[in-house]
């Protein structure tokens, strides 16, 4: 099947996959958008007949203080994690470039295994590590002389639980970002580094004057992907703390689920989900536009 010299077979072959992917991605999004404009609770879920209420659900959310508290917490959660992920991943990628082949292969294998660990399995392991009485972390801290951590209940304190979740998400995210940045580093010509060193540049100057400009777009892409990954984190938070204690780890995805699950306010939960999508879309589109322009 041709039109001139152009064959349509490649497009026909990928059409089922594209159509299936579009359906799986767009249908839930459109359904949630519709529900967010309806009065949709347990009764409507069972018998149907949801009625349109316009922007009432959004007005209820935006007029309440709880939503804004959760939004600020989500922004802080995302910023802390993304900064740590990008910084640590950059350090690991730079180390991979300098390691000998055997050590590099061993480290890359360890990163791949950490990345491949199922989310729920990794979260369960972290629950064991930070368990108050038999956890390895408390035992190690006490062995190092920090006696105040004897029987310390990490998951009873909001700040401590938040910190544990940050460690967990960073541990899960660094492998992907580090391997991606390492792949980018291998594409930079060695002559650029040699010229910079001949000109008297220090390691820090070489990094900022050569590495960062050459990988600016890759850094922006990695940061954008990590913003998506961190902002939509749900399994780790739900399994580890269910948004507690006292809401200290409740982010927007957890907030939406709790509203829908506990209050059976599927309309309000959908409104939270749609606001989350809009916030992420605005942030990412502006970032990607800057990346393309640069």
The pTM for the full model equals 0.88
Q: Cα–Cα distance between 119 and 236 in angstroms, integer?
A: 7
* Residue 165 confidence (pLDDT) above 70: yes
Q: What is the pLDDT of residue 45?
A: 82
DSSP 130-148: T-TTT-HHHHHHHHTT-GG
* Rg of the chain (C-alpha set): 24
pLDDT confidence band for 166 (50 / 70 / 90): very high
Q: Cis before residue 245, ω within 30 degrees of 0?
A: yes
User: Which own/partner pairs from 211-216 qualify as long-range (CB within 8 Å, at least 24 positions apart)?
Assistant: 211/94, 211/185, 214/184, 214/188, 215/181, 215/184, 215/185, 215/188, 216/291, 216/294
* Residue 198 confidence (pLDDT) above 90: no
Going by C-beta distance under 8 Å and a sequence separation of 6 or more, which residues neighbour residue 188? 210, 211, 214, 215
66-114 pLDDT, tens digit per residue, is 999 999 999 999 999 999 999 999 999 999 998 888 899 999 999 999 8
């Amino acid at each position: 099947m041709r039109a001139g010299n152009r064959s349509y077979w490649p497009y026909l072959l990928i059409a089922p996959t594209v159509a299936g992917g579009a359906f799986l991605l767009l249908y839930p999004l459109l359904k949630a958008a519709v529900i967010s404009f309806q009065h949709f609770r347990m009764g409507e879920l069972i018998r149907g007949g949801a009625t349109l209420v316009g922007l009432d659900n959004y007005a209820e959310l935006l007029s309440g203080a709880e939503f804004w508290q959760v939004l600020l917490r989500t922004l802080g959660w995302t910023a802390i994690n993304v900064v740590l992920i990008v910084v640590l991943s950059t350090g690991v990628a730079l180390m991979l470039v300098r390691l000998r082949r055997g050590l590099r292969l061993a480290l890359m294998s360890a990163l791949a295994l950490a990345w491949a660990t199922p989310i729920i399995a990794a979260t369960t392991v972290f629950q064991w590590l930070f368990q108050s009485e038999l956890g390895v972390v408390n035992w190690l801290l006490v062995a190092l002389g920090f006696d105040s951590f004897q029987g310390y209940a990490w998951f009873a304190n909001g700040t401590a639980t938040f910190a544990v979740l940050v460690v967990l998400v960073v541990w899960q995210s660094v492998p992907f970002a580090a391997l991606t940045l390492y792949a980018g580093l291998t594409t930079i010509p060695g002559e650029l580094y040699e010229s910079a060193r001949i000109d008297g540049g220090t390691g820090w100057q070489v990094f900022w004057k050569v590495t960062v400009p050459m990988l600016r777009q890759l850094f922006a892409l990695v940061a954008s992907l990590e913003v998506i990954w961190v902002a939509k984190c749900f399994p780790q938070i739900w399994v580890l703390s269910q948004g507690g204690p006292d809401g200290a780890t409740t982010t927007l995805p957890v907030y939406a689920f709790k509203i829908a699950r506990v209050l059976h306010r599927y309309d309000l939960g959908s409104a939270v989900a749609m606001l989350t999508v809009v916030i992420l879309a605005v942030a990412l589109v502006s970032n990607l536009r800057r990346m393309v322009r640069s």
